[in-house]
Amino acid sequence: MPPRNALDALTMRPTRFLVSSWPWRSLAYLTGGALIGFATVFVVLGLLGAGLVLTVVVIGVAGYLATLLSGVAVGRLERWRMRLIDRDALPDPHRRPPKPGLRAWLRCRLREQATWRELGYTMVSALVLCWMDAAVVFATLYVPAALLFAPVYIHDQPLSRTVPLMLFAPLAFVIAAYPVTAWAGARAAMARAILAPRSHDTNAELVELTRSRARLVDAFEVERRRIERDLHDGAQQRLVALSMQLGLARLELAPGSPAELSVAAAQDLAKQALAELRELIRGVHPKVLTDRGLVAAVGEAAGHAPVPVDLELRLTGRLPEAVEVAAYFVVVEALANVAKHSRASRAVVSGGVQGGRLRLDVRDDGRGGADPQRGTGLVGLADRVAAVGGSVAMSSPPGGPTLVHVEIPCES
């Protein structure tokens, strides 16, 4: 496997390392670091001087701001330079400004931790690291060159003494390849440790991502409730009216006549459609959950389950709406899996609020061996629960029993 960075390259066999590009890339990296460091010193001193001179006319504030933000440019350049000796790209830790324009960009950058870390790296690089880079590069080039050109500048010694020094020049180049690469690798590791994104830098993005996911779930639930209302108040009422009209029509017909039989069949079809619509409404968003809470909704779902269900829910009041919705649909899906796959004779739904968390368990006495990855529906429901900060766990060894455990933070 090829080395990923300069430090890994040092573990190569000497014959492979010395003919590879790593020593030359390391030398180029250190040379660039020295030049950038010296240039940074002059630029920062110039900006501070300009800011000091122009402070009386307010324009100098721009010089101070440019000094503070100089690390952004140096950090970007350093991340680009690190590609010479590190194949793992260093990501940019900066966020996109919320609005276009220079003022929004300045406000965003000055509030980021990454900006101040880059400024600290720039100061360290200009005051310490660039001088060390220059020393390593100078020693690497000077010593072999001094040996190579010894006969030229040593005039008071015979050639029998100076010519052997020339023969040591290639050996000096070979030896210098190792400290150059080692320092370049250590230098890049320090830069990565300072410039790499930190967890608290991405905290705002994670918080916003969590909030956006919660907003999507909320919007989805709002749409489900709208559909439930439309079906309940619209299509269901019309089917009820249709069934009643067909019943009245049957009273006007002779019992047992062909017309009466046809109307009776139509009335039965209307009743079946009404029953299916009610099941659909219950699956979209049960009205009892909104009106009476989680215990009543779970009780109703248990009453419609094909398998007998024992309820042991201990809730003394209403929970947040998002918590009730997430918990309800996990229980419903778990009971549906019990009926479809477990061959269980009985199920138990238990739980309550403990330590500010809703804990629910759905158990059955079935055959076990359930796998969430085989389309049981719990994966999608686990995502729904995760959107409100909860978790879903399942235990289902072969032979049973199966247990689905749900925990959701809430305020009772």
Residues 149 and 53 in one domain: yes
Cβ-contact 348, 362 below 8 angstroms: yes
**Strand-pair category, 347-354 with 309-314:** parallel
Q: Is the dihedral of CA 165, 166, 167, 168 positive or negative?
A: positive
Residue 219 shares a structural domain with residue 196: no
Residue type, 140: T
Is residue 71 located within the same domain as residue 110? yes
Looking at residue 377, what is its pLDDT? 64
- Indicate the number of domains in the chain: 3
- What confidence score (pLDDT) does residue 356 get? 84
Do 174 and 263 fall into the same domain? no
Q: How far is CA 262 from CA 247, 250, 265, 295, 322, in A?
A: 12, 9, 5, 43, 47
Record the tokens describing residue 391, joined without a space: 């978790």
Between strands 402-409 and 391-395, the pairing is antiparallel
CA distance 332 to 282: 10
Reading the chain (412 residues) residue by residue, the pLDDT tens digits are 678 888 888 888 888 888 888 899 999 999 999 998 888 888 888 777 776 766 555 555 676 777 788 888 888 899 899 888 888 888 888 888 888 888 888 888 888 888 888 888 888 888 888 899 999 999 888 888 888 877 777 766 676 677 777 878 888 888 888 999 999 999 998 888 888 876 545 555 555 555 655 565 565 556 556 665 656 566 667 777 777 877 787 777 777 778 777 877 887 787 777 776 666 655 556 777 777 888 888 888 888 888 888 888 888 888 888 888 888 888 888 888 888 877 888 888 888 888 888 888 888 888 887 776 665 566 777 777 877 788 888 888 888 788 888 888 886 4
Tell me: do 184 and 266 sit in the same domain: no
Confirm whether 1 is domain-assigned: no
Domain limits at 309? 288-409
pTM over 0.85: no
